[in-house]
């Protein structure tokens, strides 16, 4: 039996944000309709190395595609010339259980997470949103902005991060993708004066104060994806409409996990899952003044849907190499 092996450059060569947003949106719709099997992420914690490993299986029943992602998060890796996040995705035949393809999932993870942020803003942000604020200047900030530009026509993008240098590099790299000024700001507070705010940091202490967020803002809270992580002031969650990607995962490791554990909010304060809003089971934004928050933990259905798109295109273009298993 042979399995198709796809390296990162081959995965990159067949991916684009526009197409990925389409398949990820379909996956969220199926999630909203209860047509997926997706147990929550399982974690291994490597405390001595400030890292963790996660396994993420999913089955999209309607499309009959299934697989699993294995992914790490090690914030200290850049000092070793390694990515903070590295991932491997295995696509599997639902009929036989045999592996069909194995591919790098590191770049794919960045793109599918960006796609989810763009989709969330499509359904939750004000339609006239013109100013985007970014807290964090890493790979995830890039794909979040790219996805938002698929949905909106921003007039200004504001960005801040731990260093001015990282923001300047971000501005240079993204200038060709963004049809407006990208401006560096020294403070998070100045960035928060926007229509759509995106936070992509690994912080474990809130860095966005409730008093900085104006009425009508939509927030994509991306960074909190493990127990103990949080980016937003709990007071902000109390006065906002909270939409999560998946309830079970968010309770465990999303932006809401710390405020829940400290009883600032309860599970009843979480309005809906994104898929429920998309298919009309729950309302999304109901006023121009409402503050909405999308709590993204990253779902295996996003990975499997995206990996299947990559696999189909790679086969069509004759990419990768067949590896014999037995």
Q: Do 214 and 264 reside in the same domain of the chain?
A: yes
Domain that holds residue 31: 2-109+301-324
Report the CATH number at residue 152: 3.40.50.720
Q: Do 52 and 121 reside in the same domain of the chain?
A: no
Q: Specify whether 122 is catalytic.
A: no
Q: Do 295 and 305 reside in the same domain of the chain?
A: no
- Helix, strand and coil content of the chain, in percent to the nearest 5, comes to 35, 25, 35
Q: What is the pLDDT of residues 32-42, one digit of tens each?
A: 999 999 999 99
Q: Do 310 and 174 reside in the same domain of the chain?
A: no
Closest to 252 in 3D by CA, of 196, 295, 201, 188 = 295
pTM above 0.85, yes or no: yes
Do the Cβ atoms of 83 and 76 come closer than 8 Å?
Answer: no
Q: Do 92 and 140 reside in the same domain of the chain?
A: no
Per-residue pLDDT band for 85 (boundaries 50, 70, 90) equals: confident
Active-site choice (35, 41, 69, 122):
69
Q: What is the pLDDT of residues 103-112, one digit of tens each?
A: 999 999 999 9
pLDDT > 90 fraction of the chain, expressed in percent and rounded: 95
Q: What is the pLDDT of residues 264-323, one digit of tens each?
A: 999 999 999 999 999 999 999 999 999 999 999 999 999 999 999 999 999 999 999 999
Question: Is residue 83 over pLDDT 90?
Answer: no
* CA dist., res. 298 & res. 73, Å (int): 13
Question: Is residue 25 over pLDDT 90?
Answer: yes
Report the CATH number at residue 66: 3.30.1780.10
Q: Do 190 and 91 reside in the same domain of the chain?
A: no
Q: Do 196 and 314 reside in the same domain of the chain?
A: no
Binding residues for NAD(+): 112, 139-140, 223-225, 229, 296
Q: Do 16 and 101 reside in the same domain of the chain?
A: yes
- According to DSSP H, which parts of 60-207 are helical? 106-124, 139-151, 164-174, 188-191
Q: Do 273 and 285 reside in the same domain of the chain?
A: yes
Do the Cβ atoms of 214 and 193 come closer than 8 Å?
Answer: yes
| Gyration radius from the chain CA atoms | 19
Question: Is residue 326 over pLDDT 90?
Answer: no
Q: What is the pLDDT of residues 170-206, one digit of tens each?
A: 999 999 889 899 999 999 999 999 999 999 998 999 9
Closest to 243 in 3D by CA, of 261, 270, 219, 224 = 270
Do the Cβ atoms of 102 and 90 come closer than 8 Å?
Answer: yes
Q: Do 79 and 129 reside in the same domain of the chain?
A: no
Average pLDDT, the chain: 96
Question: Is residue 84 over pLDDT 90?
Answer: no
Binding residues: 112, 139-140, 223-225, 229, 296
Residue 204's contacts (CB-CB under 8 Å, 6 or more residues apart) are 228, 229, 230
Question: Is residue 142 over pLDDT 90?
Answer: yes
Buried b (16+ CB within 10 A) or exposed e, 173-194: ebeeebeeebebbeebeebbeb
Strand, coil or helix: 156: strand
Strand, coil or helix: 132: strand
Q: Do 10 and 47 reside in the same domain of the chain?
A: yes
Q: Do 286 and 156 reside in the same domain of the chain?
A: yes
Question: Is residue 226 over pLDDT 90?
Answer: no
* CA dist., res. 277 & res. 140, Å (int): 24
Question: Is residue 29 over pLDDT 90?
Answer: yes
């Amino acid at each position: 039996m042979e399995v198709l092996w796809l390296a990162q450059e081959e995965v990159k060569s067949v991916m684009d944000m526009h197409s990925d947003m389409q398949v990820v949106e379909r996956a969220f719709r199926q999630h909203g309709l209860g047509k997926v099997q997706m147990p929550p992420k399982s974690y291994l914690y490597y405390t001595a190395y400030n890292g963790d490993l996660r396994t993420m299986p999913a089955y999209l029943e309607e499309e009959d595609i299934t697989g699993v992602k294995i992914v790490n998060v090690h914030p200290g890796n850049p000092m070793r010339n390694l990515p903070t996040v590295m991932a491997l995705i295995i696509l599997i035949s639902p009929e036989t259980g045999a592996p069909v393809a194995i591919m790098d999932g590191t770049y794919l993870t960045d793109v599918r997470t960006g796609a989810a942020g763009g989709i969330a803003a499509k359904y939750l942000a004000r339609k006239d949103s013109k100013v985007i604020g970014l807290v964090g200047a890493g790979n995830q900030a890039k794909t979040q902005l790219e996805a938002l530009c698929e949905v909106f026509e921003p007039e200004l993008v504001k960005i801040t991060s731990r260093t001015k240098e990282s923001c300047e590099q971000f501005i240079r790299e993204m200038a060709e993708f963004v049809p407006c000024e990208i401006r560096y700001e020294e403070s998070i507070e100045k960035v928060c004066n926007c229509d759509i705010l995106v936070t992509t940091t690994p912080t474990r202490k809130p860095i966005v104060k409730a008093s900085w967020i104006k009425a009508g803002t939509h927030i994509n809270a991306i960074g909190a994806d493990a127990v103990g992580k949080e980016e937003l002031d709990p007071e902000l969650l109390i006065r906002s409409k909270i939409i999560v990607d998946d309830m079970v995962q968010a309770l465990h490791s999303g932006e809401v996990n710390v405020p829940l554990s400290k009883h600032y909010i309860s599970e009843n304060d979480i309005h809906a899952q994104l898929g429920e809003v998309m298919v009309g089971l729950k309302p999304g934004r109901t006023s121009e003044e409402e503050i909405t928050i999308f709590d993204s933990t990253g779902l295996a259905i996003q990975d499997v849907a995206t990996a299947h798109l990559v696999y189909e295109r790679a086969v069509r273009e004759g990419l990768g190499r067949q590896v014999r298993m037995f």
